[in-house]
Structure formats: structure tokens, C-alpha cells
Structure 1
Amino acid sequence: MREAQSMSPAGRRIVAAAEELFYDRGITAVGVDLIAEHSGVTKRTLYNQFGSKDHLVAAYLDERDRRWRSLVLAAVGACGDPVETVTAPFDALRIWSESNTRGCAFINALAELPDPAHPAYRIAAGQKLWLLDLFEELATAAGCPNPALLAARLLTLHEGALATQPLPLDTLSVSIDLARALVRAGAPGPDEAATGDGPDVRATDTA
């Protein structure tokens, strides 16, 4: 996937128009003619830039993924306490959700494009796997027992908040409270952190 800075001005306009249309109306419902019209280019220019609609969808998701990861890593970097850092991606999600009110573009894309061979599928699935790995990395650094299991639980809460976002319910706040409770229940206390001791992993080893 080409880097955003390597795109031509026309390419950036096309991706911006595609993002607005795909996110608001759905990927399969939007054709390249409409994207070309909204971006002020010819359809030929669109194909010259991206080759196909499938690759344009991938470029759209790639650009969102780049912005999302940057926001998450900024939230992680701004948190000084290792235990609180484990749930920093939820803080990023609250900020992200302020301007993205139609749910998760990656979940939506996976629902519309279930074929793993589609070039956008790898990006959408990769975004989720990246967050899972990040949760595990942060949990490990915080000394939480069974970080892989904790990461899976945190990702489930995170994705549940995203999936229910269109409902008139503040499920994000509920998910954040549950996530913090999970982390605090397993994280070592000050004395345990100093000695390297922590809760018995076996006590949290059930799904």
C-alpha cells in the first residue's frame, strides 16, 4: 500500500471522497463514478491512481488505520502509569468516536467484504489483530497475569463498544469501566510490583 505522502493531490482527494462516501453509505453501495464526481477527477484518473475499486477501498481503510494507530499510540504515550496504560486505547476510542458516529469502518468492511482474498480484508482484519497484540504487550509491561487472555477480553469489550455505538446507549463508558476493573483485578500492587510477585495466574486462567 502506498504511503499517504506519496499520493498525488488527485489521489488524496479521491481517498478523502471515498472515505466520506464509503463510511456514510457503505462500500458496495458506492460506485467509482460517484467517487470521481465528489473528488473532482475523471474516472480514468481514478483508475490510473488506484487501478480498481477494490484497491481504492484498501487505500481508504489504510488511511483510517494509519490515523487510528497514531491516535492510540499517542494515548498510550501520554499515560505514565503502566496499569492505566493498558486501557489507554479505550481513551483513544472515546476521542475517535466523537467524529466517527456510524460505527467501526473496519467491522463494516469485514461484513461487506468477507473474502480474505480481497485487498481490503487484510487491512481491516490487521487493524483488529494489531490492537489485540498491543493490549497483550501493554498488559505484559504492566505485570498482569495471563496477558494474552486479558488482551482477548479487552479487545472484546473494545469491539462491543464499537458495535453498539449507533445505539442511544453509552456502552463505551460501561466498557471502559469493565476494562479498568479487569486490569486492576489482575495487576500487581505496589509491593508485588517491587518484588516481582503478583496474583496467581491460575485464578484468572478461565475464559
Structure 2
Amino acid sequence: MPSAKSSSDALPPRERILVAAHALFYQEGIRATGVDRIIDQASVSKVTFYRQYPSKDELIRAYLDYRHGLWMSWFETSLTQALHAGAPAAQALSTSLRAWFSRADFRGCAFLNAAAELGSSDPEILKVVRQHKQEMAAVLDSLMASDGVPVGPALSLLIDGAIVHAQMGQPLDDVMDAFDATAAAILQR
């Protein structure tokens, strides 16, 4: 998963705010990150911030849209490259996830985190999270389904479980060993 960091000073204020919010929301949490911290990180004035994003809720939705685009692009590209290199489907998926889980900035799934933080107070967030997960399952089906048998929903559940266990600090080899065995079983149906 690529980082959203760039030379943000060259970006227009709206994008600087979004890039700063992305980094802070993902690393520190949505609720834990105040608007003043985002303003400081983005090097914008409070007036500029509120002109671009009239509310934190609007920024949260923009963050999730932005994260969705980044993550889905990385996910599909990573899987496609591994599959084109000849890796079996289960190995392509395992290699991609292991690389993501091993990143120093890994803090789980931004969408599961958002659902846990905000889902009970903002049902719209749950819609965004469900849509992200459905699109992830669709990518898995498009790349890995065989004989028309959908595998995306089962693999998506398996991926979410692996994400949570990796985020909780379970040894990565243990997480991936369990993941690999189950993914292979799903893909051999």
C-alpha cells in the first residue's frame, strides 16, 4: 500500500488538507485527531480549512474516498502483477497482504477502524465501509474466481480476519500460515 505522502507544499490547500488528514486519521485515529492538528499539519489557516471542508464529517468522508482509491489501486495492481508473474492465486494474495502488514505504518484497515470508531454514531460511515468491502470482493472475484464460482466474499472475510490479527500484534508468520491454508482451501473449491 503506497503512502499518500508527497511534497504536499506544492498541492492546493484542499489536497494538502486531505493528505494531512489521511496520514493523521490512519495513524492516530479519526476521533483522536482534531481539526487544529490537521490545520497545522496541512499548513493552512482555519478559514481556508473550513472553506474547503465545512465540517470534520465532510473531511472524514473525503478521507475514506481517498483511502479507498489508494488502497484499491494498490490491491488490484499488486495482485495482478503477482498473478501475471505466475504466482498461484493464494500466493499472490498472501504476498500482497504480507507486504502490507509488514509496513512500518500499518495500522489495520482504515475502513474497519472507521466503522469501529464512528459506525454507531454515523450510519453513513457503515455504508461507505460496506461499499469498500463489496468492491474488494468484486476485485477478488474478477481476478481469482474459477468456473464462475465467486470467491470474493469468502476471501474478503478471510482478509478482514487476517488484518485484525495482524493489527493486534499476533506474529505475522502465524497470521499468514493460517491465512494461506484457508485461502488455498477457498480457492480450490
- Give the drift of 1:9: 1.7
- Give the drift of 1:90: 4.0
- The structure having more radius of gyration, on CA atoms, is 1
1:63-109 CA deviation, whole Å, 9 max, x = no partner? 21111111122123221389934664443322333244221111010
Q: 2:127 aligns with which of 99, 122, 128?
A: 122
Structure 2 residue aligned with 1:135: 140
Structure-2 change in CA distance of 1:11 and 1:121 (3 Å)? farther
Q: 2:76 aligns with which of 44, 63, 73?
A: 73
Q: 1:179 aligns with which of 176, 180, 183?
A: 183
Q: Quick check: 1:32 aligned with 2:35?
A: yes
SS in 2 for 1:103: coil
Q: Quick check: 1:169 aligned with 2:171?
A: yes
- Give the drift of 1:182: 2.5
- Give the drift of 1:156: 1.6
For residues 133 and 34 of structure 1, the distance between their equivalents in structure 2, rounded to whole angstroms, comes to 36
Gaps in structure 1 of 5+ consecutive residues:
1-7, 187-207
For residues 73 and 178 of structure 1, the distance between their equivalents in structure 2, rounded to whole angstroms, comes to 21
Structure 1 residue aligned with 2:58: 55
Q: 1:106 aligns with which of 111, 122, 144?
A: 111
Contact 1:116 1:122 in 2 (8 A): no
Letter of the structure 2 residue corresponding to residue 127 of structure 1: H
Structure 1 residue aligned with 2:7: none
Contact 1:83 1:139 in 2 (8 A): no
Contact 1:82 1:138 in 2 (8 A): no
Q: 1:23 aligns with which of 26, 47, 50?
A: 26
SS in 2 for 1:164: helix
Give the % identical residues: 31
Structure 2 residue aligned with 1:13: 16
Structure-2 change in CA distance of 1:168 and 1:180 (3 Å)? same
Structure-2 change in CA distance of 1:82 and 1:113 (3 Å)? farther
Gaps in structure 2 of 5+ consecutive residues:
1-10
Structure-2 change in CA distance of 1:181 and 1:70 (3 Å)? same
Structure 1 residue aligned with 2:6: none
Contact 1:107 1:124 in 2 (8 A): yes
Aligned residue pairs, count? 174
For residues 59 and 65 of structure 1, the distance between their equivalents in structure 2, rounded to whole angstroms, comes to 10
Query: TM-score by structure 2 length?
Result: 0.78
Letter of the structure 2 residue corresponding to residue 165 of structure 1: A
- Give the drift of 1:117: 4.3
Q: 2:95 aligns with which of 88, 91, 98?
A: 91
